[in-house]
Amino acid sequence: MASGTAVKTRQAQRVVLLACAGAVTLAAWLWLLGRPAHHHASRWRSFASLVAMWQAMMVAMMTPAVLDWLFTFAALAKRAWSAAWFASGYFVVWLGYSILAALLQTAIGHDRLPARAGGAVLVATGLLYFTPFQRACLTHCRNPVTYFLARWHNGPRSGFGFGLTHGAYCVGCCWMLMLTGFAVGVMNILWMALLTLLICVEKLAPHGDRIGAVAAVAMTLWGVALLF
């Protein structure tokens, strides 16, 4: 009986977390779809708006990929609401990245780089995938149970700390991938959707790392074509 109750509790937690994550992700996508396609990135007074745009992009694109971590954390903490601490730490790290990306976009002054510069970004992104640093970050992102069991301790602050740590690994895994938006247009919705799919497959699917490697090779070849 106790075992059956525990199973039902975990299922209820998953439903709650899935509903919350779905609502947040949908809101982010709808907000992005309602924004104009081009922005005057060189105007510093719009900096806060750029930061909000980048953070919305991170929420829209990364939330589906972090669901497995939220499920695992909630199951170990035995409270669905405690996953909010984990999520807040995670997105604080991505907020830092959004600020840096907005600074870069403001410095560039455009939403899209010239073809050759964009090609260089794509080549760098594809090659980065095969570095030990990138592989270590991806291995971490694909193994939430292993990470939590090795470092678990209770308390809401621990959830926030876990979120910060995982967020740092996630940024390490995806920071350059996000910058490929400058090669095709920062607000290119189709490209954002493709990257979201790639990130989810890479982190969640069986042999997702191999699929990611194929995508990295394709991205490198595309970048070389733009360069030459």
What's the whole-model pTM score?
Answer: 0.89
**161-179 burial: b if 16+ Cβ within 10 Å, else e:** bbbebbbbbbbbbbbbbbb
Q: What distance in Å separates the CA atoms of residue 32 and residue 53, rounded to the nearest whole number?
A: 7
Torsion on CA atoms 28, 33, 37, 38, rounded to nearest 10: -30
pLDDT tens sequence across 88-112:
999 999 999 999 999 999 888 888 9
Average pLDDT over residues 219-226: 96
Q: How far apart are the first and last CA of the chain?
A: 67
Average pLDDT over residues 112-132: 95
Residue 6 banded pLDDT, cuts 50, 70, 90: low
pLDDT tens sequence across 47-78:
888 999 999 999 999 999 999 999 999 888 87
Number of independent structural domains in the chain? 1
Instruction: Please say if the pLDDT value at position 40 is more than 60.
Output: no
Instruction: Please say if the pLDDT value at position 41 is more than 80.
Output: no
The domain in which residue 82 lies consists of 2-227
In the prediction, which pLDDT does 37 show? 61
pLDDT tens sequence across 8-18:
777 888 888 89
Q: For the chain, what is the mean pLDDT?
A: 89
In the prediction, which pLDDT does 138 show? 94
